[in-house]
Amino acid sequence: MGALTMSAAPQEDLSLVREALAGSQLSFQLLVERYAPRMFALVRHYTRSAVECEDIVQDTFLKAYSRLASFQQQSSFYTWLCRIAINTALDTLKRAGRSPVQAVEDPELAGAGGSEEIGRGIGSVPAPDARMEQEEVAQIAQEVLEELPEIFRTVLVLREFESQSYQAIADALGISIGTVESRLFRARARFRDKLLELHPEFGE
Amino acid sequence: MTVGRGKGTMDAILCTDARPLIPAWADGELSEAQAAPLRAHLLGCRDCRGSMQDLRALHRWFDAGAVDGSSLVPPGFAARVARRAFAGDRGERAVSAPFELERERDGRRTLDFVLWSTAAAALLVVALSVALRLRDLPSSERLRADSRTPQSTEEILNKLEELDAREAGLALPQADAAHEAATKPVVDPASGAARR
C-alpha cells in the first residue's frame, strides 16, 4: 500500500497546488492523477457501487479544488484529501438513507481506556484459513468492516488498508494521537468479535 | 511520530508495561529507544508474544483486502475532473449536469409544443366561427320583412289574407271592365241605334 513516495511528494504537491491556484488546469489534473488511485481504494470501503465510488471521489476532488486556497499545509495534501473523501462518503451514504452503523457508546469513554485496556490485548484472533482464496478472505473482511460502527471502520481503513501513521490519522480525523491509539485498539477488538459472531467456524 | 509511552531505556520491563506498547510497536509507531526494551521483553515472554501473534493474525485479514487503487480509476478520470473543476461545475454526480440539462431541454420542448398547439387551436376556432357567422348572416336583400317565412298559423292566415287582398286589388279593374263591356249597349254604326 501507499505506492506513492511520501517523502518526495509533499513539496511537489505544494508546487502543483500553487500552480493550480494560479490557473493551471494541468497541475490540478496531475494532482488528481497522483491521488485518485488512493482515493478510490479508500472510498471503496464505504460503498460497493463502482458508480457511487466514482461520484464520491470526483466530488472529493471538486470540493478540494473549490477549497484549495484554504489548504493550510499543516498536514499533507493526501491527509487533507482523506478528510474530505471520508466526509463526502459519509454524507453520500446519509443522503441515500444508508447511514453507517453508529457506535452506541462513546468509543473514547467506554471501558477503562488508555494503556490499561490496551494492555489486556484484543484476545485470540483466528487467522484466515490457509486454503481460502485471497478474494474470499478480503470479502469476509469487508463484510465484517461494514458491520462495524463508522468511527471504528474509518480508523481501521486508514491504518490497515491505507497504512497511515497515527499522526496522519489524527490529522485526517481531527483527533489526538492518544485517541487514535485507543480507538484503533477498540476497533481491532470489535473486528475480532464481529468476525467470530458472523463466522463462528473460525473460532473453532 | 512515536507514541510517548514506555521508559525508553534498555532496562527490563514488565508485562504490564510491555503489553500496551505492542500495538504501537506492530504499527511502527515506537522510537528505537522505546522499541528496544520491548523487543528484549518479547524474547523472554511467551504471553506477550501471544499478544503479538494475535495482532499479526488480524493483519492477515486486512492484507488480503489490499488492492492497487490504479485498477479502480476509470480512463480519463483526472482530465474529466480537472475540466469540471475549472469549468466551475460542482458535479455533484457524474451524470447530474448533462441529465439536468437534458431534462430542462425536454421540458422546454414540451412547453413549446403546448404553446404552439394552443395557438393553432385558437386560430382554428376563430376561423371557424368567422366562417359560420358569414354563412348564417342574412344579406341586405334577404333582410326584407316580407321575405320572412311565416311561422305561426295566425301569421300564415294574415299572409294569405294579404295575398288575397293583393290579388283582389289586381283583379277588380279587369272584372269591372268586362262587366262594363258586357252591359254596355252596342251602337250600330250604320243605323246609329243602340242594341244590347
Q: What is the ipTM for the molecules in this complex?
A: 0.81
CA of A90: how far to CAs of A16, A43, A60, A66, B193, in Å? Answer: 28, 10, 12, 19, 146
A window 82-101, beta carbon within 8 A of B: none
Q: B-contacting residues of A 120-149, CB under 8 Å?
A: 120-128, 134-135, 137-138, 140-142, 144
Residue B5: closest C-alpha in chain A:
A115
The candidate with the shortest Cα–Cα distance to A44, out of B125, B73, B126, is B73
pTM: 0.65
> For A50-92, how does the pLDDT look when each residue is reduced to its tens digit (9 = 90+)?
999 999 999 999 999 999 998 877 789 999 999 999 999 999 9
Question: What band does A105 get if pLDDT is binned at 50, 70 and 90?
Answer: low
Cβ pair B91:A36 closer than 8 A? no
Cell numbers of A27, please? 497541475
* Residues of chain B with C-beta less than 8 angstroms from the C-beta of A65: 85
Q: What is the structure's pLDDT at B30?
A: 93
Query: Model confidence over B105-136: pLDDT tens digits?
Result: 455 666 777 888 888 888 888 888 888 877 76
More confident residue, A120 or B99: A120
Look at residue A203 in the predicted model and tell me its pLDDT.
74
Q: What is the pLDDT, as a whole number, of residue A198? A: 92
Q: How far apart are CA A196 and CA A174, in angstroms?
A: 31
Chain B residues with beta carbon closer than 8 angstroms to that of A116? 20
Task: State residue B132's pLDDT score.
Answer: 81
Q: A152 and A186 in contact (C-beta within 8 Å)?
A: yes
B-chain CB neighbours of A112 within 8 Å are: none
The residue-averaged pLDDT of B185-189 equals 49
Nearest-angstrom CA–CA distance, A35 and A57: 10
- In a 3-state reduction of DSSP, which class is residue B186? strand
The closest of A52, A76, A77 to A65, measured between CA atoms, is: A77
Using CA atoms, how far apart are residues A169 and A147, in angstroms rounded to an integer?
21
Looking at per-residue pLDDT, the higher value among A46 and B161 belongs to: A46
Residues of A in contact with B22 (CB under 8 A): 121
CA distance A144 to B155: 104
